Amino acid sequence: MIMLHHAQLAPIHIIGHARSGTSILSDVLRRYLQISFGTESQFIVRFDKKLPQYGDLHDEGHIKRLIRDVAQERCFQRWYKFDNFVLDPDQVFRDLPERSYRGVLEAAFMQLAKHGGMTRWGDKTPEYMHHLPVLYRWFPDAQYIHIVRDGRDVALSIFQQEFGAKNVYKAASDWRQQMLLVRAFARSLPPEQFLEIRYEDFLGSTRESFRTLVDFLGVEIDAAAFEPLTVQLQQELKADNFNKWRHGLTEPQQRLYEQIAGDVLASYGYETANCESQPMGWAQHGYWMLDDKLRHWMMPAYWRDNGYKVSLRLRSMLSQCRRFVRV
């Protein structure tokens, strides 16, 4: 066990486009800095929208119902597979620092942290990139780490997944939009709450990047332990796992990507042939969006995921019906 001390205990949110290194970064923080991370939570924003259904959370019955519903989220099933962790709703209620949605989240995430013998928790859910003001509303004291990866490598990686964009146009549009959303969000935060690192720098300049993370998070590590720690980390990471787009994307695909997101790529220091983005006509836009949708419809995982979302809606509707009957 690495001997270290956390000078601060505020939550940590890793933000970034899917396939940008959020999983690698959260794993490093968990194993090397003893900060608890489970799998993606995915429910924080969704329950924020549903909170009016639960009424005054100072009422014991109301907040217990919220805890019970949160505990049914599939992320906790994944946490069991990930770390043999089973969320105890009764313990969440007993551990509430306050009777609020923030209190429920704190108690649930800290239960996982204590299970792993840790005192600080974090979360990483790429889809929250579209809802950063909601995260900040509930966690104004949190620290936010944005990990950026060359959008063309992101596209190559995400094409192989069951989720995300399925053509270059959609991939470039999504990546560019999310980078701009993060920039706007970052402008509202003080430097001590926001850190941005490039995936490529984390792989290629691991010691310097890790030192930056440690200092930003207020983690105190014995100087004698820091050097062997970074050597071990460098050995684990794939230092050359970037610039795959040069061979993975065709020249027409590279040109299309830069046409959409070249300006933002260049602003992050990524090599481009043409850094000026060019708007796409409505007909071309419609074609690429339809192409993306059709490719999704052909994937079994698309229907599985939508089946889960339908089950959530049905569960919510049944819960409201039961409350109406009781009234």
Give CA torsion, residues 264, 268, 274, 279, to 10 deg: 0
pLDDT digits (tens, 9 = 90+) for 112-148: 999 999 999 999 999 999 999 999 999 999 999 999 9
- Is residue 28 a part of any domain in this protein? yes
First to last CA, the chain: 54
**177 and 119 both lie in a single domain:** yes
pLDDT of residue 297: 79
Angle at 269 between CA 267 and CA 273, to 5 degrees: 85
pLDDT range class, residue 248, cuts 50, 70, 90: very high
pLDDT digits (tens, 9 = 90+) for 50-90: 999 999 999 999 999 999 999 999 999 999 988 899 999 99
The CATH number of whichever domain residue 23 belongs to comes to 3.40.50.300
pLDDT digits (tens, 9 = 90+) for 256-298: 999 999 999 999 999 998 756 677 788 887 877 787 788 777 7
**Residue-range definition of the domain harbouring residue 315:** 280-327
Closest by alpha carbon to 149, among 167, 175, 129, 131?
175
Q: What Rg value do the Cα atoms of the chain yield, rounded?
A: 21
- Is residue 82 a part of any domain in this protein? yes
**180 and 300 both lie in a single domain:** no
Higher pLDDT pick, 196 / 276: 196
Given a contact cutoff of 8 angstroms between Cβ atoms, the answer to whether 147 and 20 are in contact is yes
**233 and 295 both lie in a single domain:** no
